[in-house]
Each structure stands twice: as structure tokens, then as C-alpha cells.
């Protein structure tokens, strides 16, 4: 599997490196980043730190830089400005400078938060991504979106800020439980639905290998998703156009995630949001009922929910209207024209949205 170069504004920006372990981390870092830092802070959470922090710390200590770590409680509840402030305090006490580096070691929460801290500390310092979950490897570590939640609203405070390197140890995926693996598959299926019908068919045909965490199957899955997102981000780095297609399933998904008080995982909520979006797509005369049922079956085969209980349709609608993807007070909703082809559509009435939301309510 070849490494992937990501361009920004037509110029090489950073490389995504796919490896089975951490054995090449130091050599890749020295080659791709090629900079001497005075301080390196490895940012992780309470789950990932137990598994990989010691190994990664020992690797970066070989650079000759002073290495410290900052860990916070795992989970979406920590993805806020309070945690960022604590990280700032750590960096100040350890005398970090503009010649310092942050390393995001963990899943999407760790990557988003670390990237935002890097973008804002001293008006911007370098950071690299070492994503350890399927969701972060196929989605959140690629493309330079960073940020935190604010008063329950997803990713409301953030910045576009590119890493210097993304190093993916695919071996870390073996440590994922079924819940976190399924959450990642929500983003995998989304990527295929919006951009690649052949990849969608591959996902259908290889469910046993993927769910069984076969290395070659996982490598293909992660690589294809990174190619899709990398291509979109190169064309539209700041979401002025087609990058919005990556938000398929996210508008109502984020609303459901917020209303569940983040008890439902991001990938689970994206799955629910995609089901809603599929029905809206059908209502516009695009994909048909049999295609909707086909996608629903695929979601189920990857242990993703297609319905939810305990929520009101009007509450979900209201929460979706605070979404940052609004345009002139209208929700920028992503629909499917065909399997593998997305589009944006603004003209949905509240009745249309309630109709779609009802499709996932038990």
C-alpha cells in the first residue's frame, strides 16, 4: 500500500503514511518533517495512553527533543475549551515555543482537540497526527479540520490547520472494541456512498474480512477512504463547495448526537443521519426504495443503528438548525443522486425534514 501525498492550494502539504506498527515512526518523522524541535508534547486520552503512550514517547525521545505528555479523560465530553485551556497551561509551564511540536496520539477527539490547540497556541505551532481508531484513520485525521464542541454543539469552535504528517499504525485497529470499530465503519460507508460506487460494492462483498479485522481488508478500507477524502480536500480545502459532501449524514446525525448527550457514538449518529438523508434523496426523485433498503442492510451488517428511540422529531429538527453548515438560515443538506454520487440541496421544508427524521424513530 503506497503512502499518500496531500496537497494544499496546489502544493505538497503533508504525507499520510500507512504502516503495520510503530517501527518506522522515527525514520518517517525524520524524513517527512525534517525539523528539530525544542519540545514535543504527546497528547492522548486515558484509554489510548495505557496502550501506546510509553512506546511513542520512547520513540520521540530519540529525536533529542524534550518530550512531555498531556492526557485527558477519554470521550466526547472532554472535547471542549476547558480541556484545551488545561493543555495551554501545560505548554506554558513546560516553556513551549513556536519551535515546539504537538503529537495527537488517539482517536478523533484527541486529533481535533490537539490540532485546534496547535492552531491557536502562540498563533500556531506544528503538530502531527497519529490516529489510533478506524474513525480517525479514515476521516478526522485527514484534511485539516480541527476544533472542539461548545455547550453541546459539535465542532462549533475550530480552525482549518494542516498537520505536518499523518502516521497510521493499522495495527492499532486490532485493539478496538466492536462499538468503536462500528463507529469508524459509519464514516467508511459514508465515503463510499458519496464518491465511489465500486468501493461501496467492495464493502458489501468483504464484510466478513472487514469485520474480522483482516489486515489486508483494513488496509484497503483505510487507504480508499483517505484517497477519497484527500482528493476532495485538495479541491476544496475550506469547504466552499464539494467538501460539504463529506457531511452526508452529519446534519441530522450531529443533532441526534447532541440530543443523546453524546451517549451515541459519532459513527452511530452518522448512520442514523444517512438513513434520513437517503429518504430525502428518494423524496427528490433520486435513489429508489430498493437502494435505500440495500444501504440499510449494509449498515446493519456493520453493526450500525438504523433507528433510535427516546427522541422527538421536533427536537432533532430544532437541534439541526443550529448546525454550522447553515447557509443563509437554510440547512445545507447533502443528498445522494446515485450510489457514489452526492450533491447539496438547500430547499427542504420542515415537513420534509420531519418526514425523514420519522424514518429513524422507533
Q: Residue 348 sits in a domain of what CATH number?
A: 1.20.1090.10
Shared domain for 351 and 330, answered yes or no, is yes
Q: What is the CATH number of the domain that holds 134?
A: 3.40.50.1970
Query: Which letter does DSSP use for residue 245 in this model?
Result: G
Shared domain for 192 and 140, answered yes or no, is no
**Helix locations, the chain, DSSP H:** 25-32, 48, 54-61, 81-93, 108-120, 134-135, 178-195, 197-205, 207-211, 215-235, 250-259, 266-283, 289-301, 313-320, 350-358
pLDDT digits (tens, 9 = 90+) for 261-302: 989 999 999 999 999 999 999 999 999 999 999 999 999 999
- Per the structure block, which three cell numbers stand in for 191? 465515503
Residue 168's φ and ψ, nearest 5 degrees, are -105, 110
Burial of 312 (0-12, 13-18, 19+ CB in 10 A): exposed
**In the predicted structure, residue 210 carries a pLDDT above the cut 60:** yes
Q: Is 110 annotated as a binding residue?
A: yes
pLDDT at 300 (0 to 100): 99
Shared domain for 236 and 302, answered yes or no, is yes
The Cα–Cα gap between 252 and 316 comes to 7
The Cα–Cα gap between 91 and 36 comes to 18
pLDDT at 322 (0 to 100): 74
Q: Is 231 annotated as a binding residue?
A: no
Q: How confident is the model at residue 326 (pLDDT cuts 50, 70, 90)?
A: low
User: Residue 267, Cα to own-chain centre: how many angstroms?
Assistant: 9
| Burial call 85-94: b when 16+ CB within 10 Å, e when fewer | eebbebbeee
pLDDT digits (tens, 9 = 90+) for 54-84: 999 999 999 999 999 999 999 999 999 999 9
Asked if 103 and 56 touch (Cβ cutoff 8 Å), the reply is yes
pLDDT at 176 (0 to 100): 97
Give the 3-state secondary structure of residue 361. strand
pLDDT at 346 (0 to 100): 76
Asked if 104 and 132 touch (Cβ cutoff 8 Å), the reply is no
The Cα–Cα gap between 321 and 329 comes to 8
Domain boundary among 172, 203, 238: 172
Q: Is 108 annotated as a binding residue?
A: yes
- Per the structure block, which three cell numbers stand in for 230? 484527500
Domain extent, residue 128, equals 4-172
Q: What is the mean pLDDT of residues 300-306?
A: 98
Q: Is 253 annotated as a binding residue?
A: no
pLDDT digits (tens, 9 = 90+) for 84-134: 999 999 999 999 999 999 999 999 999 999 999 999 999 999 999 999 999
Q: What is the mean pLDDT of residues 350-358?
A: 94
Domain boundary among 172, 196, 221: 172
Nearest alpha carbon to residue 82 among 127, 148, 145, 158? 148
- With a CB cutoff of 8 Å and minimum separation 6, the contacts of 216 are 209
Domain boundary among 172, 192, 214: 172
Phi-psi domain of 262 (left: phi exceeds 0; alpha: psi -120 through 50; beta: other): left
pLDDT digits (tens, 9 = 90+) for 242-256: 999 999 999 999 999
pLDDT at 324 (0 to 100): 54
Sign of CA dihedral 340, 345, 350, 352: negative
Shared domain for 153 and 19, answered yes or no, is yes
Asked if 315 and 259 touch (Cβ cutoff 8 Å), the reply is yes
The Cα–Cα gap between 236 and 220 comes to 24
- Per the structure block, which three cell numbers stand in for 313? 422529531
Sign of CA dihedral 45, 227, 13, 238: negative
Shared domain for 295 and 255, answered yes or no, is yes
Shared domain for 186 and 69, answered yes or no, is no
pLDDT at 202 (0 to 100): 99
Q: What percent of the chain has pLDDT over 70?
A: 98
Nearest alpha carbon to residue 195 among 61, 338, 318? 338
The Cα–Cα gap between 246 and 196 comes to 13
pLDDT at 171 (0 to 100): 98
Q: Is 152 annotated as a binding residue?
A: no
**In the predicted structure, residue 325 carries a pLDDT above the cut 60:** no
The Cα–Cα gap between 304 and 76 comes to 19
Shared domain for 16 and 119, answered yes or no, is yes
Q: Is 270 annotated as a binding residue?
A: no
Shared domain for 150 and 42, answered yes or no, is yes
Q: Is 76 annotated as a binding residue?
A: no
Shared domain for 259 and 318, answered yes or no, is yes
| Burial call 173-203: b when 16+ CB within 10 Å, e when fewer | beebeeebbbbbbbbbbbbbbbbbeebbebb
Kindly state the helix (H) or strand (E) to which residue 306 belongs, with its residue range.
none
Q: Is 184 annotated as a binding residue?
A: no
Q: Is 154 annotated as a binding residue?
A: yes
Q: Is 187 annotated as a binding residue?
A: yes
Number of domains in the chain: 2
Shared domain for 160 and 186, answered yes or no, is no
The mean of the pLDDT values for the chain is: 95
Shared domain for 143 and 182, answered yes or no, is no
Q: Given the C-alpha cell 525521545, which residue does it identify? A: 61
Shared domain for 256 and 342, answered yes or no, is yes
pLDDT at 327 (0 to 100): 58
Asked if 116 and 143 touch (Cβ cutoff 8 Å), the reply is no
Amino acid at each position: 500500500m503506497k503512502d499518500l501525498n496531500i496537497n494544499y492550494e496546489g502544493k505538497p502539504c503533508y504525507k499520510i503514511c500507512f504502516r503495520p506498527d510503530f517501527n518506522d515512526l522515527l525514520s518517517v518523522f525524520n524524513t517527512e518533517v525534517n525539523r528539530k524541535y525544542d519540545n514535543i508534547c504527546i497528547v492522548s486520552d486515558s484509554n489510548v495512553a495505557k496502550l501506546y503512550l510509553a512506546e511513542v514517547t520512547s520513540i520521540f525521545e530519540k529525536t533529542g527533543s524534550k518530550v512531555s505528555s498531556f492526557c485527558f479523560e477519554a470521550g466526547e465530553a472532554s472535547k471542549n475549551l476547558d480541556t484545551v485551556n488545561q493543555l495551554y497551561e501545560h505548554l506554558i509551564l513546560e516553556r513551549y515555543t513556536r519551535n515546539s511540536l504537538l503529537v495527537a496520539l488517539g482517536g478523533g477527539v484527541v486529533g481535533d482537540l490537539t490540532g485546534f490547540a496547535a492552531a491557536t497556541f502562540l498563533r500556531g505551532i506544528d503538530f502531527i497526527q497519529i490516529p489510533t481508531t478506524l474513525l480517525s484513520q479514515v476521516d478526522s485525521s485527514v484534511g485539516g479540520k480541527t476544533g472542539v464542541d461548545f455547550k453541546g454543539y459539535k465542532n462549533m469552535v475550530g480552525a482549518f490547520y494542516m498537520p505536518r504528517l499523518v502516521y497510521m499504525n493499522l495495527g492499532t485497529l486490532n485493539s478496538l472494541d466492536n462499538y468503536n470499530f462500528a463507529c469508524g465503519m459509519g464514516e467508511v460507508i459514508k465515503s463510499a456512498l458519496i464518491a465511489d460506487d465500486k468501493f461501496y460494492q467492495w464493502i458489501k462483498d468483504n464484510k466478513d474480512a472487514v469485520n474480522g479485522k483482516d489486515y489486508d481488508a483494513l488496509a484497503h478500507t483505510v487507504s480508499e477512504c483517505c484517497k477519497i477524502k484527500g482528493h476532495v480536500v485538495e479541491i476544496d480545502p475550506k469547504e466552499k463547495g464539494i467538501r460539504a459532501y463529506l457531511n452526508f449524514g452529519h446534519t441530522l446525525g450531529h443533532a441526534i448526537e447532541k440530543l443523546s448527550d453524546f451517549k451515541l457514538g459519532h459513527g452511530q449518529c452518522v448512520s442514523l443521519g444517512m438513513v434520513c438523508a437517503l429518504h430525502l434523496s428518494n423524496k427528490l426523485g433520486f435513489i429508489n426504495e430498493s437502494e435505500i433498503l440495500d444501504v440499510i442492510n449494509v449498515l446493519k451488517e456493520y453493526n450500525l443503528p438504523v433507528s433510535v428511540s427516546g427522541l422527538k422529531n421536533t427536537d432533532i429538527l430544532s437541534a439541526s438548525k443550529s448546525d454550522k453548515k447553515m447557509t443563509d438560515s437554510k440547512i445545507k443538506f447533502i443528498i445522494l443522486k446515485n450510489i457514489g454520487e452526492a450533491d447539496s440541496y438547500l430547499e427542504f421544508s420542515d415537513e420534509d425534514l420531519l418526514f425523514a427524521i420519522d424514518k429513524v424513530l422507533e
